[in-house]
Structure 1
Amino acid sequence: MASDTASPPRKPDPVTAKGERRRAPYRRRLRSRIIVSFALLGLCLTALFAFATNWTRARVENQLVEDVMNRNINEYARRFYEDPGRNPDLPVQQIRAYAYSSDKFEKAREVWPEWAALPTGIHSISGADEKGERYAYKLAVRKTPDAWFFLAYDMTQTMKGESQLNRALFLSVLVFSVLSLVLGWWSASKVMKPVSDLAARLRAYRGGTSEPEPLAPRFPDDEVGQLAQALDDYSSRLTEVVQRDREFNADVSHELRTPLAVIRGATELLLARPGLDDKVVQRLQRIQRAEQQCTDLIGSLLLLSRNERGQGNSNVARVTEQLLDAHRAQLGGKPLELVLEGDRDLVIDAPESALSVALGNLIGNAVKYSQEGSVRVRVSGNRVDVIDSGPGLSAEDAAKLFQRGYRGTHAGHSQGGGIGLSIVSRLCDLYGWQVSVRPGVERGVIATLTFAPAL
């Protein structure tokens, strides 16, 4: 049926109760991902731009300063050689220059010991003075056999400007990151609004009409419109499937119930005739029980296909006793005792047909796989335990027993398609029951059917 294909079977837990649903893992919303992407993009681009700006500034500034210093120290050396008796002046106030002839090298070492130890070239020097104020300067050093030249370029103001620029760049990164976040939020709202509208229309539709309203005309011809068109096509095919399923259910309900009603009527008439042989009566009663089982099964399957609960109340002990009587008549000399124990007054909010199908499958499996010993059905509290003396249950069987089409390792060549326990599982989901199986204390299997508490 359509309901079988709509909800694939889940792997059951053999120890815990059936029907538990795993919580889906948390997933970040698409809108949040778009906003975060915009914010990260803005942050990375502005940070990269700030880094490139600062690096380029430092490189260009350093090259320009070194060019200026090289030109100035060349000019200073030229002026010194023109008149070695005086210290020539330089036109740039930021530059201090010193020249020492060969007879004054020792004085240079005494006055400028750090400078005197440096080789020819341009050096960066920084530190703090006695007042704790930081200073920085570039020092050009040129040493010849007859003279030493020192030219210092004050970089303190440049260093302060560099600090101000770094603060400005850092503030720019923050501002543009916030702007990227705002832009991402605005863009995500604009981009996701059609998707949100589409999702809202899908949530609003609950299948109340046979022909749902088309979605595509309400959206522009873009990606969302194409998605809406695909959903409309899928909805049309799904509506056809549901319609065929409803028609099939109606046909099954009529075509199968009619011959069953004929069988029931004929069986009742035959049983009413006096003087029947005992074996004939037993066979007619077996036919009557089989007809009732078919009727219950058809009713339960139709309710499952429509996902509807049947109405009515059921006495669990009475239904269980009827099922045990039916199985006693089919033992065929098997040395097996069928026993009902426990509470006789438990009444649940479910029709007898659904309870008969669920309990009948559990009891039927216990009888089928127990060759001797006993099958005990214990009613206690709001649950039923079916305890058999069969060959037991493996871990693999326990994990897959409620899957549709799965047959246990002890099934052998016995008849059955592995559908019975799958039907039990679906009935439990429909009525809020729970079913589980576990190995017995010494041998056999204990199947437990727990009913929903009364409201």
Structure 2
Amino acid sequence: MNKPARSLGQRIIWAFVILALLCASLFSFFNVVFVYTVEDQFFRHQLMDEEKYQLQQPHLSAPQSPAIQIYLQTKDLPADLLQALEPATQRTEYSGLDGRHYHLRRVVHPAAKEPVWLVAEVSQQLVVRPIRDEMFLFYGISTLVMLLLAAALGFVLARRATRPLTQLAELVQNDQLSPGFSKVFPANEIGVLAEALEQNWQRVQAFIAREQAFSRDASHELRTPLAVIQSSCELLLAQMSTQAWPAEQQQRLEQIQHSSRQMNQLISTLLAMSREQHLGKMESIKLAALLEQLVLNLSPLLDGKHIELELQVEPDLQLQLNPVLLQMVLTNLLQNAFLHGAPGTVHISADSLGLVISNPLQAEDAPTELTALFAKGRQSSGYGLGLGIVQRLCQQTGLELQLNRSEQQLIVRLIWPQL
């Protein structure tokens, strides 16, 4: 199992850092807005006080503050202010040249024919702008300190919170579960999870033990009568070779012997599938020798059939697979080809990529029966008993089984696992 790209502890630390960054950014933003607003309100109230003072006078008089000037017409305004002025808006603050900064207010005075302008050049009275760089530097340093504190706090909390969960994940990942493993975890949500996992694990272990015991007992009970049947068939066939027995009886005995061999092979396959601890043993296998031996063992299936066999396998081809399971898979595939193939030629070829078995089919077989039944994981009585078992074996050993069916031919491809 691959380690996740970002663990739960890292997610907790990042959550703390992002939250601290958002809080620091919002605090800095609101603080900047606040100090600029307070400063602007100070100058605005200065102009409002000057407006009240001028309205109390019968004629326009000198302003109370030397920073405030009165302009009777718009054209009289300073050039840099006049260039940036937007009379049609409610804007009251403008930046001029050479660092000058203006606040203005339009006043209607009874002694003037037109509204006059109260203009305050406040560049020497600004408080925020001279310390703006230092203020931003302070905000940056404080934000960095907050991020480091948040990361440290998140690391401590994540370590305490996720340590039991990490231990539990390692136990599951390394398959080191043992009875009573849940008692070492704290009495919280992780402890509840570990206890539930232990209960389910014990149930699975008990089920596996019962399944293995049943498979062992069932295989023993089935093999005993099968051994009796096989030995009896061999004894009767040996007697038939020395005595004149009817051909029909000899054929029936051969069918019984063949069926008993198939059943014995099926029992061995099912027993091996139920014991997954034996599936991981890999050995170097010479495929040509194995196929020749299997074809020789299954040659009685071709008796009385007009079937020719063409085998094309590289002599030095070797595979790293479980020999028992590979033999079971190949035996089932060859049995299907020999038993259910029509008269003609069965082609068997193999290379470093996979194995291909091509055999003709009976004309009366339904073209889609095999594909439909195999896709659903069921057995097809018309194509052999072992296809579903072969599929299970292939899934456990990493092999890939592909079936291509035409009206007159079945092509089975067995692709080796790519190491």
TM-score w.r.t. structure 2 length?
Answer: 0.77
Q: Is the 8 A contact 1:315 1:348 kept in 2?
A: no
Shift of 1:140: 3.2
- Determine the C-alpha separation between the residues in 2 that align with 1:387 and 1:188: 60
Give the 3 Å change call, closer, same or farther, for CA 112–203 of structure 1 in structure 2.
closer
SS of residue paired to 1:58 = helix
Aligned to 1:272, which of 226, 232, 238? 238
Shift of 1:121: 8.2
Q: Is the 8 A contact 1:43 1:177 kept in 2?
A: yes
Identify the residue that residue 152 of structure 1 maps to in structure 2: 120
Aligned to 1:387, which of 358, 363, 367? 358
1:200-219 matched pairs, under 5 angstroms: 200-206=170-176, 212-219=178-185
Aligned to 1:262, which of 225, 228, 239? 228
- Determine the C-alpha separation between the residues in 1 that align with 2:360 and 2:183: 65
Tell whether 2:34 aligns with 1:34: no
- Determine the C-alpha separation between the residues in 2 that align with 1:381 and 1:120: 85
Q: Is the 8 A contact 1:402 1:425 kept in 2?
A: no
Give the 3 Å change call, closer, same or farther, for CA 327–438 of structure 1 in structure 2.
same
2:93 counterpart letter in structure 1? S
Aligned to 2:272, which of 282, 294, 303? 303
Aligned to 2:293, which of 302, 310, 318? 318
Tell whether 2:40 aligns with 1:65: no
Tell whether 2:168 aligns with 1:190: no
- Which one has more relative contact order, counting CA pairs under 8 Å at least 6 apart? 1
Identify the residue that residue 377 of structure 2 maps to in structure 1: 404
Ranges in structure 1 where 5+ consecutive residues have no aligned partner: 1-22
Ranges in structure 2 where 5+ consecutive residues have no aligned partner: none
Q: Is the 8 A contact 1:125 1:136 kept in 2?
A: yes
Q: Is the 8 A contact 1:38 1:181 kept in 2?
A: yes
2:44 counterpart letter in structure 1? E
1:10-409 matched pairs, under 5 angstroms: 28-75=6-53, 78=56, 81=58, 87=62, 89-90=64-65, 95-99=66-70, 105=72, 109-110=75-76, 112=78, 114=81, 123-129=92-98, 134-147=99-112, 148=116, 150-155=118-123, 156-206=126-176, 212-273=178-239, 274-277=242-245, 278-307=247-276, 308-309=278-279, 315-328=290-303, 337-343=307-313, 354=325, 357-366=328-337, 370=341, 372-381=342-351, 384-390=355-361, 401=374, 404-405=377-378
Shift of 1:244: 0.5
Number of equivalenced pairs: 398
Give the 3 Å change call, closer, same or farther, for CA 400–187 of structure 1 in structure 2.
farther
| Deviation digits for residues 35-64 of structure 1 (CA, Å, limit 9, x no counterpart) | 222222222222222222223333343334
| Deviation digits for residues 252-273 of structure 1 (CA, Å, limit 9, x no counterpart) | 2211111111112211221222
Of all paired residues, the percent bearing the same amino acid is: 25
Give the 3 Å change call, closer, same or farther, for CA 121–77 of structure 1 in structure 2.
farther
What is the Cα-based RMSD across aligned positions, in Å?
A: 4.2
- Determine the C-alpha separation between the residues in 2 that align with 1:270 and 1:41: 87
| Deviation digits for residues 23-46 of structure 1 (CA, Å, limit 9, x no counterpart) | 989764322322222222222222
Give the 3 Å change call, closer, same or farther, for CA 99–360 of structure 1 in structure 2.
closer
- Determine the C-alpha separation between the residues in 1 that align with 2:258 and 2:358: 23
Shift of 1:195: 0.4
TM-score w.r.t. structure 1 length?
Answer: 0.72
Q: Is the 8 A contact 2:47 2:118 kept in 1?
A: no
